[in-house]
Structure 1
């Protein structure tokens, strides 16, 4: 009969795989047995902290049971938990990820003092008045008018972009980087791409150069830019 807790070596270190079909108490018992055996082996060697990844398979563990794993490891001074992972996610997390992948078409007016916060990418057709804020976790494609503040990659994703004409914006932000626009410094039009460069500052390019600016995104859209 296979143990409910099995040690495996990986290229990154050590992993303990917990049997997704075993009972919880059987898993905890097997985990303690495994750690006791490992501790006996390490007593004759120079002490060092060994960190383990815990794989729960296709079983989503509760916060209480994950805490019990941490409690078990607390009894072993030379061992620690690096991370606990599973091959399944909650319905809430699944919905959040799907929302992040969606492109939302927004056609509305954002007035002074209003904040519009959206998860995922946005195709913006509306209008942001001065003093209004459009805050998006993904990329923003602007076909509307922006006179307020516009942010892609909120709160701190610097791999996102703003594409389109935002020359009237009070401020553009990507992740934690921001700039008050001065149209005398940047020629901004419908083909402008605003992004964070390798120096972690806002930079400006053109849609036709998207392959060089963000190769990953360029490949995601099929490697084709329509002029």
Structure 2
């Protein structure tokens, strides 16, 4: 099946599109034939190494399928696979994205030496003891008691926030920015917003000023703040 693998030029180089309805055997045969033709066409010039993106459409290739494609390319010295992509995703990737978009309610005790990691936004109702750590991929809404380390935007997202009372925390972190807190820190109240400002420095504000601090987030929650 000659057209089960089709070459397409892009702004970034070359892409090979595999027919997602074709038999895999036909795809392998067509791919090899295509590479043979390209090798013949470039033989009379000054051939340079070419790296191809492989697009599989609505077919998700297994590790074995990918290995077979890599094996075919290994027979062509100047040709290689840059990446293999599809228009579908694995169950694991789908679950990861859903996790990131979900608001999780965490009501537990995090003791000294314990680390808890959560994707997405978190409403925290529990207790973090000194030495305990909560690392969250999204924003954190603190309604519990924090005496340990708390981080939003884990590991390196600086557009996330910690909202609520963290004045007893040992350390607050947003992405890679952090500050060790002590009793002299008067900037934090029970309605604080911890965020990274335009200078990429950890800063503190009040919930009622959230519209000025992060207009995008303010609009996402409906533009209403209940004090």
Q: TM-score, normalised by structure 2?
A: 0.83
What do residues 58-114 of structure 1 show as CA deviations (whole Å, max 9, x unaligned)?
A: 111111211222222233333222211111222232222212211011222222233
Shift of 1:147: 0.8
1:162 is matched with which residue?
Answer: 162
Aligned-pair distance for 1:214? 4.9
Unaligned runs of 5+ in 1: none
Query: Contact 1:208/1:225 (CA < 8 Å) preserved in 2?
Result: no
- Contact map agreement 2:192 2:204 (CA 8 A) in 1: yes
Worse overlay, 202-211 or 31-40: 202-211
| CA positional deviation for 1:197 | 4.9
Q: Which residue of 2 aligns with 1:97?
A: 97
Q: What residue in structure 1 maps to residue 124 of structure 2?
A: 124
Counterparts of 1:43 and 1:216 in 2: how far apart (Å)? 55
Q: 1:197 to 1:67 in 2, by over 3 A?
A: farther
Taking structure 1 as reference, are residues 43 and 157 closer, same or farther at Cα in structure 2, changes over 3 Å only?
farther
The answer to whether the 8 A contact 2:106-2:126 is kept is yes
User: Are 1:226 and 2:225 an aligned pair?
Assistant: yes
Matched length: 226
**Structure 1 vs Structure 2 CA RMSD:** 2.7
Asked if the contact 2:142/2:163 (under 8 Å) is kept, the reply is: yes
Q: How far apart, in 2, do the equivalents of 1:209 and 1:80 lie? A: 53
Measured against aligned partners, the alpha-carbon deviations of 1:114-162 in whole angstroms (never above 9, x if no partner) come to: 3222222101122212121112222211122211011223334444322
What residue is the counterpart of 1:179 in the other structure?
A: 179
1:61 has 2:29 as partner:
no
Q: Is the 8 A contact 1:154 1:174 kept in 2?
A: yes
Structure 2 residues without counterparts, runs of 5 or longer: none
**Greater alpha carbon shift after TM alignment, 1-10 vs 182-191:** 182-191
The aligned residue for residue 153 of structure 1 is 153
Q: Secondary structure at the match of 2:71?
A: helix
Equivalent residue number for residue 79 of structure 2: 79
Higher Rg of the two aligned structures: 2
Aligned residue for 2:25, secondary structure, equals helix
Asked whether the 8 Å contact 1:7–1:17 carries over to 2, the reply is yes
SS of the counterpart of 1:122?
Answer: strand
Tell whether the 8 Å contact from 2:207 to 2:225 is kept in structure 1 after alignment.
no
Q: CA distance change for structure 1 residues 214 and 3 in 2, over 3 Å: closer, same or farther?
A: farther
Change (3 A) 1:43 1:127: same
**What secondary structure, in the 3-state scheme, does the structure 1 residue paired with 2:3 have?**
coil
Question: Residues 92 and 44 of structure 1: is their aligned pair in 2 closer, same or farther, counting only changes over 3 Å?
Answer: same
